[in-house]
Amino acid sequence: MSTTLRAGARHRIAFVLNGRGIEGDAEPRMLLSDFLRHALGATGTHVGCEHGVCGACTVQVDGLAVRSCLMLAVQADGRRIATVEALAGDEGELNALQKAFRRNHALQCGFCTAGILMSLDDWLAKNPDPDERSLREMLSGHLCRCTGYTGIVRAALEAAAEMRHGEEMEAAPRV
Ligand code: FES
Ligand code: FES
């Protein structure tokens, strides 16, 4: 059954944001990035180009990295959305990727960082042992005007190695 969305009208939507159910009203043309920031106050998600080029607005939708400026808020209805706020633990402790970014000075102004972290979080789960070339190819979808990418690449490779090591330790037989 199709639903007709009337321009100018507001529509009730409900989705899970960072593990918590939320409801809100959105105009049909409102971008998900704007809804997250302005309606929900999830300002960790940044907005740069607003046409899918810079990657700053990247979030995860049902576990997949997505540009939130290329998605309408009404399309989030019934989905699971994760923003950068979801990466740290309950007590605010940084995850392995965030710690590696801090250690390797992988950010300066930080404008691009939330989007890069959300893409890397998804990409490293699928590519746990990446080589530098494929990592740089993935990062070419994110514009960073400050760092020259060297620290970001180092941090991502370091975090990937740490996460692999953690999994090996968990899988190792106890003697
Ligand atoms: S703000 Fe979405 S890709 Fe630039
Ligand atoms: S750290 Fe400034 S744009 Fe990337």
Residue 173: C-alpha distances to residues 168, 169, 170 (Å): 10, 9, 8
Ligand nearest to the CA of 109: 2
Please give the distance, rounded to the nearest whole angstrom, from the Cα atom of residue 88 to the centre of ligand 1: 23
Mean residue pLDDT of the chain comes to: 94
* Start-to-end Cα distance in the chain: 58
Please tell me if the CB atom of residue 110 comes closer than 6 angstroms to any atom of ligand 2: yes
pLDDT at 166 over 90: no
Q: What integer pLDDT is reported at residue 174 of this predicted model?
A: 62
Q: Which of 47, 49, 37 is nearest to 115 (CA)?
A: 47
Residue 66 exposed, middle or buried by CB count within 10 Å (0-12, 13-18, 19+): buried
Tokens of 76: 């989030």
Ligand nearest to the CA of 151: 2
pLDDT at 1 over 60: no
CA distance 120 to 13: 28
Least trusted range by pLDDT, from 8-17, 26-35, 134-143: 8-17
Interstrand relation of 58-61 and 20-26 (parallel, antiparallel or unpaired): unpaired
The answer to whether 106 and 147 are in contact (CB under 8 A) is yes
Q: What integer pLDDT is reported at residue 170 of this predicted model?
A: 73
* Over residues 30-50, mean pLDDT: 97
CA distance 20 to 164: 29
Interstrand relation of 80-82 and 20-26 (parallel, antiparallel or unpaired): unpaired
Residue type, 89: G
Residue 143, phi-psi category: left (phi > 0), alpha (psi -120 to 50), beta (remainder): beta
Question: pLDDT, tens digit, for every residue of 57-75?
Answer: 999 999 999 999 999 999 9
The answer to whether 109 and 146 are in contact (CB under 8 A) is yes
CA distance 119 to 152: 12
Please give the distance, rounded to the nearest whole angstrom, from the Cα atom of residue 146 to the centre of ligand 2: 4
Question: pLDDT, tens digit, for every residue of 82-110?
Answer: 999 999 998 999 999 999 999 999 999 99
Q: What integer pLDDT is reported at residue 130 of this predicted model?
A: 97
Please give the distance, rounded to the nearest whole angstrom, from the Cα atom of residue 174 to the centre of ligand 1: 47
